[in-house]
Structure 1
Amino acid sequence: MNNLEVRLHVGQGTAGGPLTVFPVWTDAPTLPTRYLTGAGVPVEVAERAGSPVVDQIVVTNRADRPVLLLAGELLEGGWQTRALTGSTLLAPGLPTVQQVVCVEQGRWGGSTAHTRRARRTPFTVLSAMDGDQAQHAVWDRVRGLGSVAGPSATDSLTDRLDRTDATARNLTRGLRPLAGQRGLLVGIAGRPVWTEVFDSARTLKAHWPGLLHAATVDALGRPAVRTPAAVARAFAERVERTRLLPDGPAGLGQRLHGGGRIRTTALRWTDRTVHLTAIAQEG
């Protein structure tokens, strides 16, 4: 038994070129969603006052309920576009300093405020957000996307997302969450690489476009090989067996992590797993 206290059930995948997307359900009970998330929620994002810092950003929840922000969520603008390194549950009205990585190496200056559109980093970038050399690894991964997503004057991940928007829509056209679906598992060129699972279908729906777009960027330029369902289910079973250890607070919640070849992180709040991410490590 794992300490996620949920089982993952992987359905039939839908393939488009190198990308295969599998629906994921869980056996966790359906409970009311007591937080806000996704684009449009009233969250202010700003540089640190006086002297901005590359790996830190100030985030304030202006809603009257907690707000869920996800690891890999993009905070666009400011002195440079950043991405959150970990999921967090923001308390109402309390400014907090969040750890981030830069995904726009060639710019340092501009306005102090950021925008949020619930866009996400591809898994190749998300998987680099760990370790002492994480920032340099993230820059390398963003730069590497230029070969499939085109150049950027400031080496910006958002430029590459903008340029691939139409491709992502075409590749995933008609793909929608199924009834009760709580997550997705992404296969690229025949192998499972990434899964994200939430505590509610509503949360998945709020982040669905950003997740699909990020997965599409990862798939660009890869061989058009479908990922077998049996391999995807084996991936999910390994995630289920991962022993997770406490990794400190995440706003109102608690962050846990574990795994080796599949790095797994979870955000728990009020005795439920609100968000789970599992990423196959490269190499």
Structure 2
Amino acid sequence: MTIIANTLEKTAIGNPVSLEQLVMFPLLGPAASEPGYITLDEAIARGVAEVKEVSASGSVPEARFINKGDKPVFLMDGEELIGARQNRVLNLSILVNAHSEVTIPVSCVEAGRWHYESPEFRSAPRTLFAEGRARKADQVSECLVRFAARRSNQSEIWEQIHQKSLSLETHSATGAMDEIYERHQLSLRDYEQAMQPVDGQTGALFFIGPSLISLDLFDCEATLRAMLPKVVQGNALDALDCTRRRLKPPAPTLEQARTFLNEVAAAPVETYPAIGMGQDLRIRGGTLTGGGLDVDGRLVHLYAFRLTEEGRQDGAVFRHTRVMRASRRYRPPQA
């Protein structure tokens, strides 16, 4: 039995909560009493972490993380970093050991800027929207198989952000994803308020109607409480998109939630040495995609998604994989 299957076997599903089209099923225990690490937000607030460009000239798919503290720092898949030469999101979950430095794989979520806004990145109160996280996870898994690298299809991510901005009627001079969130912040905060953590909650399943959009499961209740607002915002943006298009799908059932957990538990898992601590787990089979982080037999984070029909482009995703120079960066098409 894999560590994912073993963990999910011990995970219960709580009563769902919902707002508009978005439904959250809380996932309950088991959980370690103390995480033994701190989150990125905590590390930056304490002044024990720095996130910078890898050099003065920068590199689109990479950033440099410096942990100056006495505890490991957890960086979550899809978490957004604001500032430096351009905004980025994490390509996967990473646990960086105390007093160490690593180069972290990232994707750009601001196509039209390549100049310093600040010397360092700061963390944002959100993740990449769920549909984007799903495709990115699948691309990273394919890139690992093909090229032993953890990169996304950057042009596709920029295009997804462009399409999301059109759908949600948001304009950004630099194609920045964070401006979509800021434009709809009042509505997104309503989702945050509606989807508060319950006692014993260590994870969450999110549905829009009967369609599963994401699963995030952590090893500690404290980590879930710290990360849930960011996760809710990422899922809520997709739900808001659905609501604005006046779609009214039927509500999901508990059986659908159980079925998805069973599918994830049974899915094939590939294991790679992680960046930082532990083992990088990759899930990729059928319509499932995702990943996880196993550190010393402890599933620090599990994330999984169901891809839409157009979400996977086997054999074509990395046909053009060379990283473009800043002067040749993709610019989203004008509306």
Which TM class, normalised by the smaller chain length? over 0.9
Q: Distance in 2 between matches of 1:228 and 1:120?
A: 26
Look up the SS of the partner of 1:80 in the other structure: coil
5 Å-filtered alignment, 1:30-49, equals 30-42=32-44, 43-49=49-55
Q: 1:192 — aligned with what?
A: 212
TM-score normalized with structure 2 length? 0.80
Residue 165 of structure 1 and its aligned partner are, at CA, apart by: 1.6
Look up the SS of the partner of 1:95 in the other structure: strand
Aligned AA (1:33): P
Over residues 53-83 of structure 1, what are the superposed CA-to-partner deviations in whole Å (9 max), with x where a residue is unaligned?
0001011112210000011011111110001
Residue 171 of structure 1 and its aligned partner are, at CA, apart by: 3.2
Aligned residues of 2:79 and 2:90 also touching (Cα < 8 A):
yes
Distance 1:149 1:121, change over 3 A: farther
Residue 38 of structure 1 and its aligned partner are, at CA, apart by: 4.5
TM-score normalized with structure 1 length? 0.94
Aligned residues of 1:255 and 1:268 also touching (Cα < 8 A):
yes
Aligned AA (1:157): M
Identical counterparts, % of pairs = 26
Q: 1:20 — aligned with what?
A: 23
Look up the SS of the partner of 1:176 in the other structure: coil
Q: 1:253 — aligned with what?
A: 278
Q: Distance in 1 between matches of 2:235 and 2:21?
A: 10
Counterpart pick for 2:188 among 168, 192, 215: 168
Counterpart pick for 2:289 among 245, 250, 263: 263
Q: 2:168 — aligned with what?
A: 148
Look up the SS of the partner of 1:259 in the other structure: strand
The structure that is strand-richer by fraction is 1
Residue 118 of structure 1 and its aligned partner are, at CA, apart by: 4.7
Residue 172 of structure 1 and its aligned partner are, at CA, apart by: 4.0
Distance 1:240 1:259, change over 3 A: same
Distance 1:171 1:252, change over 3 A: closer
Q: C-alpha root-mean-square deviation of aligned residues, in Å?
A: 1.7
Q: Flag the structure with larger Rg.
A: 2
Residue 233 of structure 1 and its aligned partner are, at CA, apart by: 1.7
Aligned residues of 1:149 and 1:163 also touching (Cα < 8 A):
no
Q: Distance in 2 between matches of 1:118 and 1:172?
A: 11
Q: 2:265 — aligned with what?
A: 240
Residue 273 of structure 1 and its aligned partner are, at CA, apart by: 0.3
Aligned AA (1:48): V
Residue 29 of structure 1 and its aligned partner are, at CA, apart by: 5.0
Q: 1:224 — aligned with what?
A: 248
